[in-house]
Amino acid sequence: MEVRNKTVLITGGTRGLGLALAIELQARGARVGIVGQHIGRLQEIAAQLGVLAIRADVGDKDAIHKIVGEAQAALGPIDIVIHNASTLGATPLRGLLDSDCEDLERVLAVNLVGPFRLSKALAAGMLVRGQGALVHISSDAALDNYPSWGAYGVSKAALDHLSRQWAVELPQLRVLAIDPGEMNTDMHREALPDADPSTLANPTEIARRIVRIIEDERYASGSRMRAAEVV
């Protein structure tokens, strides 16, 4: 699926990997919309890049149809949705036993239920047109268990399974789960403030690799890839 002339919607598009994806996709000729919560950053990015900026919280069920309506009114039918928006939960990170139930609910609302609702709202149109891609940004925390990463890991493991389930139920569409690895982002600094930035991947390079995965039909629907392994 070549991204040129495709319409791509990216959640969590105001910083880190989401912003890098917006820049990369626009440079490759895609029509790009980003979703975020911070109006100042959205306005700044819209002015700099010329992308559509939508202020919304993907963890709020009432925002989903607003996102879809605004995106399709401005850009046309959505060909690719990249579920990049994510939250760690309460920081400093804490174990599940020390986590408030409300914190777990919020992590699941943003990292799992939000992507489900948004895909559900977009998939019917994709099926009618006979093409479309659902891209889930995963994490190694979906596979490995790290102390204090419980809520986040649970959400990403469930997101991986959601990706596989969509692939089975919607064989007409392309469904991918992509683990970007550890990157030099604000989110990583929030989780691990003492990490050495020089050991972390550049989001710009990871964004390029993710776009390669999206465009390369060798990566079958239902696949789970690590961006670091893509050359």
pLDDT at 231 over 80: no
pLDDT at 114 over 90: yes
**What's the pLDDT score for residue 216?**
93
pLDDT at 145 over 90: no
What average pLDDT is seen over the chain? 94
Q: Under DSSP, is residue 82 helix (H, G, I), strand (E, B) or coil?
A: strand
229: confidence class by pLDDT, cuts 50, 70, 90: confident
The dihedral through the CA atoms of 150, 153, 159, 163 has a sign that is negative
User: What backbone torsions phi and psi does residue 179 show, to the nearest 5 degrees?
Assistant: -90, 110
User: How far is the first Cα of the chain from the last one, in angstroms, to the nearest whole number?
Assistant: 18
- What average pLDDT score do residues 6-32 get? 97
* pLDDT tens-digit map of 165-200: 999 999 999 999 999 998 888 888 887 788 888 888
pLDDT at 64 over 90: yes
H/E segment holding residue 124: helix 114-129
Place of tokens 């979906």: 142
**What's the pLDDT score for residue 168?**
97
List, in sequence order, every beta strand (DSSP E) within 12-137: 31-36, 52-55, 80-83, 133-137
